[in-house]
Amino acid sequence: MLVTAAQQAILFWQNLYNNGDLSMLDTPSDPVITLRDIHLTLGEGASQVHVLRGISLDVQKGTSVGVVGPSGSGKSTLLMVMAGLERVDSGGVLLAGEDFSKLDEDGLAAFRGRNIGIVFQSFHLIPNMTALENVAVPLELAGDVKAFEKATRELQAVGLGERLTHYPAQMSGGEQQRVAMARALAPDPKIIVADEPTGNLDDETGAQIAELLFAKQRERGTTLVLVTHDPSLASQCDVTLRVRAGEVESAAKSSTRKSSNGKKSAA
Amino acid sequence: MTVATSSAAVPTSAVTDVQPANFSLAVRFALRELRGGLTGFYVFLACIALGVAAISGVNSVARSITSGIAQEGKLLLGGDIAFRTVHRQVSGAERAWIGSQGQMSEAATMRAMARLPDGSDQSLIELKAVDSQWPLEGKLQTEPATAFDEESVVVDPVLLSRLELKIGQSIKIGSAELKIAGTIEDEPDRVSEGIAFGPKVIMSVAALEKTKLVQPGSLINWTTRLNLAEDSDANLNQVIDQAKEKFPDAGWRIRSRVNAAPSLTRNVERFSQFLTLVGLTALIVGGVGVANAVRAFLDTKSHVIASFKSLGAPASFVFSVYLIQILLLALVGIALGLIVGALLPVIAKTVLADILPVGNAAVFHPVALLTAIAYGLLTALAFALWPLGQARDIPATALFRNAARDDAPWPRKIYVIATAIVVLLLVSLAIFQAGDKRIALTFVGGIAASFVLLRGVSMAIQWLARRYPQVRSTPLRLAIGNIHRPGALTPSVVLSLGLGLALLVALALIDGNLRNQISSNIPEKAPDFFFVDIQSSEFEPFKTALSELAPQGEVQTLPMLRGRIVSINDVPSAEIKPKEGGRWVLRGDRGITYSTELPPNATLEAGTWWDADHIGENLLSFTAEEADEVGVKVGDVIVVNVLGRKISARVVNLRNVEWQSMSMNFVMVFSPNTFAGAPHAHLATLRVGEKTSIGGEETAVQVKRDGEILKSVTTNFPTVTTVRVRDALNAVNGLISQLATAIRAAALLALAASILVLGGALAAGNRARIHDAVVLKTLGATRRTLISAFVIEYTILGLATALFALLAGGLASWFVVNGIMGFKFTLMPEVAMITVLAALVFTVGFGLVGTWRVLGQKAAPVLREL
């Protein structure tokens, strides 16, 4: 059993680094997200859909990646894979240096709690908890004794120091999304994934949120993967990844900005 | 080169480098989650509270009564030990021995007639004649507090109002005229005596002698009570053993203070077990409501659960958070139920104080309350673990896609096992707690079969709906679609409605059958009067008098003796193990008779009847049903003790009789030679004429006619006791009607539970339907179309469920009426149908009201959420 697992792990690493023709790395530095020929099929029987069809890519530490594509192209599913929420049928996935295919469900949850912060289009705050409690949840789950102090600081950092005891229903959409962002940032994750973070907000608030998101990402050197329909939001990312029919159609470096550490990223 | 590693091939061992979030954190999260309030949980709370209240209340009241009987045993029995003899007082030797053990008192009880001195009115009475020592325990309380002597009596106030008498006036009993010294307020040993057919009259033994009611063969019971000089339990048992040993042929029934009112205790226990089962059924019906509520609650929480998971919560933690919430809510429901249940004995104490010995009984019964808590918790768990186990597996990706929860897979094995263990505990508790394991097992089997069958019914309905050809009518098409589409209400509505309706049908049929016993149990051929204790000397004049009083009447007479079975084929009766129903045949004295010919209404089952002029060996005819129960066959030799003489007779035939015909029936009929020359009394029946009744009530003409017969017989034959069949039945009917009232209360409980559950199921469904209704409305469906679709859907579901309810309820009521209560079961289709229809209209109407509200929803706010 152990031997088999070890053999498989070795095979995996060999495949990973000898896989020259599929590697899109242009700098052999420090990828935080590595995908190798991943395939994913959802549904059963007649409703089966081959959602991801052999995607390979590397995302460097501190890079921001905008994933764009038409509805049903598989971009949200790709995001879920990169957030450690969805397992692939075949192919290799390395997140923050860990092969999470080896983790069981609970190990995966704990892994996410430590390494990945998620921002949703519809915020998904827990309605019966205050802003402070919402932000403290991942820290409490990780057993952090200073959960509430850290959560307070995070909320102050997104400008909500005065709204600690408010419940989600008592806050505006923009405020809720800022709480969600504080919650995603609180455990100091290596990767932040955001699914249409401005999709439920008006243009002005959306722009503020986007600005805050990029500011925090740069400030902490976190890797950001962002799914969006909004071309202007995508253009603010270091790299724009265009997905169509479960495959990466193109990957382009954004002209408008560079990643905080100056490294070029590729996909 | 492609990366070939597939996640499916990698063993997903539990590689967790983080301690699972701990219990106190789960409690904290659960409490935060509960801030949302109880919305959606009122049905849950009510279901649990209702069941727990019923079970704890019924058991507490029953324990109050039985512990009251046990505590007050000595008072109720009127002493430490009571020796009951039929026909005769204890003999000199017996009296001397009993007297040597402590203080003793003798009392006689019999039925007799009390009449006004001018003969204008009369009443059947329960006569009790006591010696000067009586009562050994407690105190007879009278108003005024005057003692009675050999010229006077104290009477039940009811007799005064019935005969329009006042204290100080006189009544005639037998041959004596006695003054009424006062009315009885409290009689200490009343509960240990049987059913009363008439008001009580207490007199002295000396007064009884004056009445001349005591004649050979009179139906009279003597009770000799003993207060032990040394009243330890050891001595109590020793004295009882000695009594049995010293006087093996005494033929007395010995009761001790430990078992003062055995039949009352037995009845209370039996009835409380029945009500506990009804309560448990209500709880299980409520359990369906619990499951619906938990499922609906978790559905609304699926995003929160997914959020927790995306933030790093392990699945077991999520399970704990929601299990803690459900348990906390269950505890709230249980607490509410316990408050009601604990208050019931307090209320019962005040209500029942006059008729049952609950005056000093404890009202707080921890065991009854703990049992109810256990039932409540186990039911909540049994129905909540499954959906909780399913919710545990809601993936974090549910935040991105709307995962349909309708076809939620089975939960992990551990939750299936946990549910099975909880169900097993629930079943064990029900069986352990039941007095009659057979009934409990049948109950459990019935419930289990109902769940399986109802699941089958809902699957069948959905299967049929899926295959039903396209129809033109829009509402019908919508209704059929609603029945089978994913997430349909069909399974939950069929289950909750099915269980509730079946319980209601069962209770309605039991109630109907009990009431049937009351109204229809005067058969057309039944006599109107029984005349008891007709002495041989007055037998002929009595017959003549009856034929003059009722020229059209049918008179039947039989000699009447009392005797008890000593042995069958030399096996002493104490060693015979009769079947369940036949114990009474061997117990104490039974009426026996002799006859030259086969009694009317009887048919021979086996053997032959004797010749009218048979002499020689004593022959005996036994009733076939009882013979089977006791194990008597043609050819057996039975020894009976009649008036102290042992008489042996051979069984030559078995006879079928109709006990329900209410005519004179005896288990044992002897050949006339057996009792030649023995002193005995006669029993007679009179059927005055054709019975006409209006709505089950007798007509004024009959009342007048019966009154005249009663008056004439009582005046001319003062020692003959006349029992009007209708009056005797009214006494029994009174008891049955109390039973039926309790069953109606149980039915109300069942109705409440099913309405709650169905209301809950429909409300949960309504949330899902708002969406559909709104979409259909935007697409042009009118409210009328939509409501028609709902009416059709509910009607189809209701009718299919009703069919099941009729079958299951009918079967259950047959089992209860026939198997437990021992009455003849009559299927009353109209009662069952009306119950089902009324319940359907009520419950479905209830559902439609909610639906109408749903249809009133404005489209825009819902659409914005889409």
Helix count and strand count (H, E) for chain B: 23, 23
Looking at CA atoms only, how far is residue A37 from chain B in angstroms? 6
Tokens, residue B586: 């061997």
CB A121 within 8 A of CB B30: no
Q: Which residues of B touch A105 (CB under 8 A)?
A: 12, 314-315
Q: Do A12 and B3 touch (CB under 8 A)?
A: yes
Residue B805 lies in a domain: yes
More confident residue, B318 or B701: B318
Same domain? B722 vs B747:
no
CB atoms under 10 Å from CB of B62, counted, come to: 23
Please tell me the distance from the alpha carbon of residue A75 to that of residue A31, in angstroms, as a whole number.
20
More confident residue, B146 or A35: A35
| Residue A111 to residues A105, B12, B13, B79, Cα–Cα distance (Å) | 10, 14, 15, 79
Residue A124 lies in a domain: yes
Please provide the distance, in angstroms rounded to a whole number, between the alpha carbons at the two ends of chain A: 35
Q: State which residue of chain B sits closest to A16, comparing Cα positions.
A: B3
Q: Do B21 and A140 touch (CB under 8 A)?
A: yes
Average pLDDT, chain A: 82
Q: Which of residues 563-592 of B touch A (CB under 8 A)?
A: none
Q: Do A141 and B313 touch (CB under 8 A)?
A: yes
- Looking at residue A171, what is its pLDDT? 93
Of the candidates B286, B270, B277, B371, the residue with the CA atom closest to the CA atom of residue B51? B286
B828-840, pLDDT tens digit by residue?
888 888 888 887 7
Residue B303 lies in a domain: yes
Q: Computed from CA positions of residues B675, B676, B677, B681, in that sequence, does the dihedral angle turn out positive or negative?
A: positive
Residue B711 lies in a domain: yes
Q: Is the pLDDT of residue A261 over 70?
A: no
Same domain? B196 vs B109:
yes
What single-letter DSSP state applies at residue A190? S
Average pLDDT, chain B: 81
Residue B760 lies in a domain: yes
Q: Is some CB atom of chain A closer than 8 A to the CB atom of B5?
A: yes
Tokens, residue B610: 């004797």
- The whole-number average pLDDT for the span A150-165 is 93
Residue A90 lies in a domain: yes
CB atoms under 10 Å from CB of A165, counted, come to: 10
Q: Which residues of B touch A123 (CB under 8 A)?
A: none
| Phi (first) and psi of residue A254, to 5 degrees | -75, 145
| Token pair 């897979």: residue | B409
Residue B66 lies in a domain: no
pTM: 0.72
pLDDT band (50, 70, 90) for residue B580: low
Structurally, how many domains does chain A consist of?
A: 1
Same domain? B562 vs B633:
yes
Same domain? B421 vs B468:
yes
Q: Is the pLDDT of residue B866 over 50?
A: no
Q: State which residue of chain A sits closest to B36, comparing Cα positions.
A: A128
Looking at CA atoms only, how far is residue A139 from chain B in angstroms? 9
- The whole-number average pLDDT for the span B393-422 is 77
Residue B121: give the domain boundaries: 82-92+104-230
Beta-carbon contacts of residue B497 (< 8 Å; ≥ 6 apart): B754, B758, B797, B798, B801, B805, B843
More confident residue, B434 or A245: A245
Residue A265 lies in a domain: no
Q: How many CB pairs under 8 A join A and B?
A: 160
Structurally, how many domains does chain B consist of?
A: 3
Same domain? B123 vs B190:
yes
Q: State which residue of chain A sits closest to B11, comparing Cα positions.
A: A102
Q: State which residue of chain A sits closest to B404, comparing Cα positions.
A: A43
Q: Which residues of B touch A93 (CB under 8 A)?
A: 7
More confident residue, B179 or B274: B179
State how far Cα B147 lies from the chain centre.
Answer: 41
Q: Is the pLDDT of residue A17 over 50?
A: no
Same domain? B175 vs B279:
no
Cβ-nearest to B16 among A21, A90, A107 = A107
More confident residue, A102 or B595: B595
Same domain? B562 vs B705:
yes
Looking at CA atoms only, how far is residue A255 from chain B in angstroms? 30
Same domain? B669 vs B580:
yes
Of the candidates B590, B682, B680, the residue with the CA atom closest to the CA atom of residue B641? B590
Residue A228 lies in a domain: yes
Please tell me the distance from the alpha carbon of residue B760 to that of residue B762, in angstroms, as a whole number.
5
What single-letter DSSP state applies at residue B20? P
pLDDT band (50, 70, 90) for residue B662: low
Tokens, residue A141: 């789950």
- The whole-number average pLDDT for the span B845-854 is 71
Same domain? B512 vs B566:
no
Residue A260 lies in a domain: no
User: Which range among B592-601, B692-701, B816-825 shows the weakest confidence by mean pLDDT?
Assistant: B692-701
**DSSP-derived 3-state class of residue A24:** coil
Q: Which amino acid is at B746?
A: A
Residue A194: give the domain boundaries: 2-253
Q: Which of residues 135-164 of B touch A (CB under 8 A)?
A: none
Q: Which amino acid is at B569?
A: N
B152-155 vs B200-204, strand pairing mode: antiparallel
Q: 3-class secondary structure for B218-240?
A: CCEEEEEEEEECCCCHHHHHHHH
State the number of CA atoms in the 13 A half-sphere of B296 facing the CB. 26
Same domain? B721 vs B740:
no
Q: State which residue of chain B sits closest to A84, comparing Cα positions.
A: B310
CATH code, A173: 3.40.50.300
Please tell me the distance from the alpha carbon of residue A190 to that of residue B460, in angstroms, as a whole number.
54
- Looking at residue B691, what is its pLDDT? 58
Among A24, A47, A106, A140, most B C-beta atoms within 10 A, so best to mutate, is: A106
Residue B623 lies in a domain: yes
Same domain? B291 vs B438:
yes
Q: Which residues of B touch A125 (CB under 8 A)?
A: 307
| Phi (first) and psi of residue B449, to 5 degrees | -60, -40
Q: Is the pLDDT of residue B477 over 90?
A: no
A63-95, pLDDT tens digit by residue?
999 999 998 888 888 988 888 888 888 888 888
Cβ-nearest to A86 among B10, B19, B397 = B397
Same domain? B809 vs B769:
yes
Residue B196 lies in a domain: yes
Q: Which amino acid is at A67?
A: V
Q: Which residues of A touch B486 (CB under 8 A)?
A: none
Q: Do B15 and A103 touch (CB under 8 A)?
A: yes
Looking at CA atoms only, how far is residue A23 from chain B in angstroms? 10
Among B311, B394, B866, most A C-beta atoms within 10 A, so best to mutate, is: B311
Cβ-nearest to A5 among B11, B312, B313 = B11
Residue A267 lies in a domain: no
